[in-house]
Amino acid sequence: MLVKAIVPRGYCKGVVRAINIAKKASQQYQNVYILGMIVHNQYIVKALEDLGIQTIDAKGKTRLELLDEIDKGTVIITAHGASDQVFKKAKEKNLNIIDASCLDVIKTHDLIKDKLNQGYEILYIGKNGHPEAEGAISIDKEKIHLITCKEDIHKMDKQKHYIITNQTTMSLYDVYDLCEYAKGILPHLEIAKEICTATQIRQEAIHNIDNDVDIVFIVGDPHSHNTQKLASIAGQNKEVHMIESLQDLNINCLKGKKKAAVSSGASTPTYLTNQVIEFLKQFDETNKETFIKPTIEKSKILD
């Protein structure tokens, strides 16, 4: 089968940094905890557990609430970032804090704080309940407003001065659309789009996919927002399947297909994506021996 391996794909610099920080912490400290999933990928979470690092996560709980479950040791702040309140509470509990926040997320937090000090209120385009959005909005819950759709923009006061920014993993096309719409509604609006470079170039590569591609596979955890957005963009004009690993690939969907494209979210292990690519390259629907999938070697997940 012909395979187009989309470039770039897989780990972004923020994920590489966070994983390396966690691996180093496992060698230096005992009782190491990660406050939420370090990145949204179950394979990475399990691989870190094998190193003795425990992930503290519960659906519906904020980072501040999750801290209640840690009484001693070292706590790692995930790549999604966290509010100042989280850092303060961790210090009050005498925890050793290691900050693995993505530098792009920190940049957005600094922008928000600077504009708040200048008297602006903030419109933050993001996903409700996402840890990155949670950390940003917690900076000032009264003056930072979560924008998830166009209807939210109509709730704003047209007399106030706003600056609009966003969760770094949002679709650049969705952000542009909401920003342009807001400009027509709010007269005192400044725009500061904060899509991270890794997210942008991955989305653009998917948007410009080859015309002769029959089917697209996006490898990544279903909880990963940037992975979901890649699948959404690909799905606008192609048959797309989002899979966590090769084990989730349904052989039946390959029947009659000549060329496949493969990409992956910024938190997807390169090993898992490469396994999908190599399998597809050798696949021949007339030869059942090529249907056999290799197993996943856990030791290669964090490579």
Distance (Å, whole) CA 42 – CA 100: 18
Radius of gyration of the chain (CA): 21
- Per the annotation, the verdict on 132 as an active-site residue is yes
- The pLDDT of residue 93 is 97
Q: What ranges make up the beta strands (E) of 157-198?
A: 162-166, 189-191
Q: E strand or H helix at 259, and its extent?
A: strand 259-264
The residues facing 34 across adjacent strands are: 55, 76
- The pLDDT of residue 194 is 65
Q: E strand or H helix at 241, and its extent?
A: strand 239-243
Give the percent of the chain with pLDDT over 70: 99
Residue 197 has pLDDT above 80, yes or no: no
Which of the residues 121, 132, 134, 244 is marked catalytic?
Answer: 132
249 & 168 share domain: no
Residue 195 has pLDDT above 70, yes or no: no
Domain range for residue 293? 2-10+198-300
Identify the CA nearest to 269 among candidates 279, 280, 260, 277: 277
- The pLDDT of residue 301 is 92
CATH number at residue 70: 3.40.50.11270
Q: What is the pLDDT of residues 119-163, one digit of tens each?
A: 999 999 999 988 899 999 999 999 999 999 999 999 999 999 999
The total number of structural domains that make up the chain: 3
37 & 90 share domain: yes
Mean pLDDT of the chain: 93
Strands 239-243 and 215-219: parallel
CATH number at residue 244: 3.40.1010.20
The pLDDT of 55-65, averaged and rounded, is: 92
pTM above 0.75, yes or no: yes
84 & 132 share domain: no
- Name the domain boundary from 82, 102, 122: 102
Residue 22 has pLDDT above 90, yes or no: yes
139 & 109 share domain: yes
